[in-house]
Amino acid sequence: MKIGMPIAYAGGFAETAEQLVEFEGVGLDVAFVAEPYAFDAVSQLGFLAAKTRTLQLGTGIINIYSRTPTLVAMTAAGLDYVSGGRFVLGIGASGPQVVEGFHGVPFDAPLGRTREVVDICRQVWRREKVDFHGRFYDVPLTKEKGGSGLGKPLKLINHPVRSEIPIVLAALGPKNVELAAELCDGWEPIFYFPERAEAAFGEPLAAGRAKRSETLAPLDVVADTKVLISTDRDEVAAAEQQVRDNLALYIGGMGAKGKNFYNDLAGRYGFAEEAARVQDLYLAGDKAEAARSIPAELLHGVALVGDPEHVASRVAAFAAAGVTTLNATPLAATHEARLADVARLAEYAR
């Protein structure tokens, strides 16, 4: 397995960039920069490309709504150029809270739009004249769709470093997971529980792989997780609390009832009643009790927190379930301890 790490987007970026070089030196394979509604991911990745040498760099993720498909493709080609062919395009639908609440565009048809975005990106990178007329995107824009009729098919001026830039789709819902397995180079699930992944994702993954082109490599499964390796009970307890708080935020607070993807996932893992209680508590304002209500089995299933023997066994479980990249957020309190945990994680994963 490869080892990935999400990069914090809420401040301290310059220090993080300097530290990333050290993570590169202890075995980190890929770093992902998120783009929720903070600074954009692209400018930060350009900076990181100049600081690093071997590390893959990815968006983790950019949404498919706030940029046109051709701009997504141009941006990916540009980042691949400045990084010397080390870029990974992580995309996803995000959700209405960000897409409509921050960008002010309708959150509609995520499956259909994703498929067309991927198709257009690959046309651009192959330097084909983009002549795409789908259900959601019309390039060049025709008179029938409100254009002047003066546009003509164009191809990218520059020659990309690679004509095939890896595309990783963040997906949780069955249809989105199926699309990732059919069309993309990688699939990024959050809160991945190895022993229950087959129940949650097995059917859509199989359906997608059955339609997958033979020209695509095997699907890279990029599982998000948290890591702390320690024999200190207080350190472990503090890390477990961070995981509880994070799970409560997503399961309880990321969406209204009936419209929370993460709550649905907990249900598919077999924790529907517990997830409903967490959501009720969180939406009522009792975040502390919501966190306490996270089942211990769920916490330990999705996170790599504990002593070395325990974490090594969990890494093996992720590998056995088909994970090929562990995208692990270190939870240790110091940079030195985080470095040590990533180094040890790389050792376990090899």
Q: What is the pLDDT of residues 143-196, one digit of tens each?
A: 999 999 999 999 999 999 999 999 999 999 999 999 999 999 999 999 999 999
Provide the 8-state DSSP code for 142: P
Tell me, what's the pLDDT at 10? 61
Query: Average pLDDT of the chain?
Result: 96
Taking 80 as the threshold, does the pLDDT of residue 279 lie above it? Answer: yes
Contact 42/124 with Cβ under 8 angstroms?
A: no
pLDDT tens string 189-223: 999 999 999 999 999 999 999 999 999 999 999 99
Residue pair 186/220 in contact by the 8 Å Cβ criterion: yes
Asked whether residue 327 carries a pLDDT value surpassing 80, the answer given is yes
The two tokens of residue 291 are 């966190």
Place of tokens 């209680």: 277
In the chain, which residues fall in CATH 3.20.20.30?
2-226+307-349
% of the chain exceeding 90 in pLDDT: 94
- Which parts of the chain fold into alpha helices (H)? 13-25, 41-51, 69-82, 96-99, 110-125, 174-183, 197-210, 233-248, 261-268, 272-283, 287-292, 296-302, 308-320, 335-349
pLDDT of 8 strictly over 80: no
Residue 158 burial by Cβ neighbours in a 10 Å radius (0-12, 13-18, 19+): exposed
pTM score > 0.75 for this model? yes
pLDDT at 203: 98
Instruction: Tell me the pLDDT band of 97, cut-offs 50, 70 and 90.
Output: confident
Tokens of 142: 């025709």
Fold of 2-226+307-349: TIM Barrel (3.20.20)
Residue 298 has pLDDT above 90, yes or no: yes
Predicted confidence at residue 11, as pLDDT, reads 64
- Encoding tokens for residue 229? 């390796």
Say if residues 183 and 166 touch (Cβ distance below 8 Å). Answer: no
Tokens read off for 189: 């699930």
Q: In the predicted model, what is the mean pLDDT of residues 132-144?
A: 96
Q: Contact, 29 vs 55, CB < 8 A?
A: yes
Position 328 scores a pLDDT of: 98
Task: Give 30-80 pLDDT, tens digit per residue.
Answer: 999 999 998 999 999 999 999 999 999 999 999 999 999 999 999 999 999
Q: How many CA atoms lie within 13 A of 324 on its CB side?
A: 10
The SS3 assignment for 62 reads strand
Strands 56-59 and 220-229: unpaired
